[in-house]
C-alpha cells in the first residue's frame, strides 16, 4: 500500500532516497514535467541524460530550476532518422547502461499533420518515436538490470483504443482528441508488451498518468479543441489540477520507489496502481482495452511494420 497520493510531490516521493550511481534517461526534459523529473532525480544523485528537441531551451529551463549536471542530447521524436541518430550517438559516446528510462515527451490534441516519416503526428510522435528509441536502447536497459521503463500516458487514453487497420486516419474522420486517445492507449499497450518481453531479463515497464497539469503540452489547444474536450469528457468528474511537482511524482514513484513487481505491465496514477474500469466516469482508472495483452502484441507487430525495424529482447 503506497503512502503517497494525488498531492504528493517529487520531493515527497524521493525523500531519503539515494539515487547515486543510477543512470537515468528522460525524454522531453526541456520543459514542464520533464524538467521537474530531471531536477528531482539529479538532486538525489542520479546521472541524468535529457533527450530534447531544443537543447538551448532545455539548458535554459533546467538551469532555471537548478537542475545541474544534466547532459542533453538532441532528438525529434517526430523523425525516426533523428531518433536513430540520437541512439547511435548515445551509444557511440560510451553509454552502455541505463537504469531507468522515462518516456516523458509528447504532444497533445494538435491539428491533423504528419511526422517526417508520414505517420499521423500524435501516434507517430508519442508512440512510434518512443517505440524506436526505447527498443534501440534495450541493450543498455538489460545492462542496467534491474531496470525500468516508465511510459507517460494519460487519462485521455479513454478517448479511444488503437486502430491498427487505420492508425493514420487515412480513411478520414480525424479528431484531435480521438487521435490523442489512441496515441496514449498505445503508450500503455507498449509498456504492457515491453514488460512481457523484457521482464525475464530484468527490465520492467509501466505506464503512468501524471494528472491534469498546466504545461507546454497544451500549446496546441484552441477554443474549438477545448469545446471538443468538454464533449469528450461529458459526464465525468473533473479531477483537481496538479502542480508540476505533483504531476511528476507518479513518474518518479513508479521509476524509483514502487516495487517493480507491482508496477510492471500496469497503469499507475496518483502514486498508485490504477483499478481497471469499463468506463471512466470519474478518476482514477484505466480502460481494460489499454491493458489487453493480445492488442499489445498486435500493436508491437504493426509498429515494427510501420517503422521498418524488428526488435527482439
298-310 per-position pLDDT tens digit = 999 999 999 999 9
| 180 is annotated as an active-site residue | yes
Q: Are strands 47-52 and 276-277 parallel, antiparallel or unpaired?
A: unpaired
184 is known as an active-site residue: yes
Q: Going from the N-terminus, what domains does the chain have, and what CATH number goes with each?
A: 10-304 (3.40.50.720)
pLDDT for the residue 11: 97
Phi, psi (rounded to 5 degrees) for 272: -160, 160
pLDDT digits (tens, 9 = 90+) for 222-266: 555 444 454 545 555 556 789 999 999 999 999 999 999 999 999
Tell me the mean pLDDT in the region 133-152: 98
227 or 162, higher pLDDT = 162
Q: Is the pLDDT of residue 124 over 70?
A: yes
Q: Of residues 180, 225, 242, 251, which has the active-site annotation?
A: 180
Q: What is the pLDDT of residues 164-204, one digit of tens each?
A: 999 999 999 999 999 999 999 999 999 999 999 999 999 99
pLDDT per residue over 62-92, tens digit each? 999 999 899 999 999 999 999 999 999 999 9
Which of 184, 225, 267, 274 is an active site residue? 184
- The residue annotated as part of the active site, out of 153, 154, 158, 303, is 153
Amino acid at each position: 500500500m503506497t503512502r503517497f497520493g494525488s498531492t504528493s510531490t517529487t520531493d515527497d516521493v524521493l525523500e531519503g532516497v539515494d539515487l547515486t550511481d543510477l543512470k537515468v534517461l528522460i525524454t522531453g526534459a526541456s520543459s514542464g514535467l520533464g524538467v521537474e523529473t530531471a531536477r528531482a532525480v539529479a538532486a538525489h544523485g542520479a546521472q541524468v541524460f535529457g533527450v530534447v528537441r531544443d537543447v538551448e531551451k532545455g539548458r535554459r529551463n533546467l538551469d532555471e530550476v537548478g537542475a545541474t549536471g544534466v547532459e542533453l542530447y538532441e532528438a525529434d521524436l517526430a523523425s525516426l532518422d533523428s531518433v536513430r541518430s540520437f541512439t547511435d550517438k548515445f551509444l557511440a559516446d560510451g553509454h552502455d547502461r541505463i537504469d531507468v528510462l522515462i518516456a516523458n515527451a509528447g504532444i497533445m490534441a494538435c491539428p491533423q499533420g504528419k511526422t517526417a516519416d508520414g505517420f499521423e503526428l500524435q501516434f507517430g510522435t508519442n508512440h512510434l518515436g518512443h517505440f524506436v528509441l526505447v527498443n534501440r536502447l534495450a541493450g543498455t536497459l538489460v545492462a542496467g538490470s534491474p531496470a525500468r521503463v516508465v511510459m507517460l500516458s494519460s487519462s485521455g487514453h479513454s478517448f479511444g483504443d488503437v486502430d491498427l487497420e487505420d492508425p493514420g486516419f487515412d480513411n478520414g474522420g480525424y479528431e484531435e482528441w480521438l487521435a490523442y486517445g489512441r496515441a496514449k492507449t498505445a503508450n500503455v499497450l507498449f509498456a504492457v508488451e515491453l514488460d512481457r518481453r523484457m521482464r525475464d531479463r530484468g527490465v520492467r515497464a509501466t505506464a503512468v498518468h501524471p494528472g491534469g497539469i498546466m504545461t507546454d503540452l497544451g500549446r496546441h489547444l484552441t477554443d474549438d479543441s477545448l469545446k471538443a474536450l468538454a464533449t469528450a469528457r461529458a459526464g465525468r468528474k473533473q479531477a483537481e489540477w496538479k502542480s508540476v511537482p505533483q504531476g511528476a511524482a507518479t513518474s518518479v514513484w513508479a521509476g524509483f520507489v514502487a516495487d517493480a513487481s507491482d508496477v510492471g505491465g500496469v497503469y499507475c496514477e496518483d502514486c498508485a496502481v490504477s483499478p481497471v474500469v469499463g468506463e471512466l466516469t470519474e478518476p482514477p482508472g484505466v480502460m481494460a482495452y489499454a491493458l489487453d495483452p493480445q492488442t499489445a502484441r498486435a500493436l508491437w507487430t504493426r509498429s515494427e511494420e510501420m517503422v521498418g525495424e524488428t526488435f527482439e529482447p
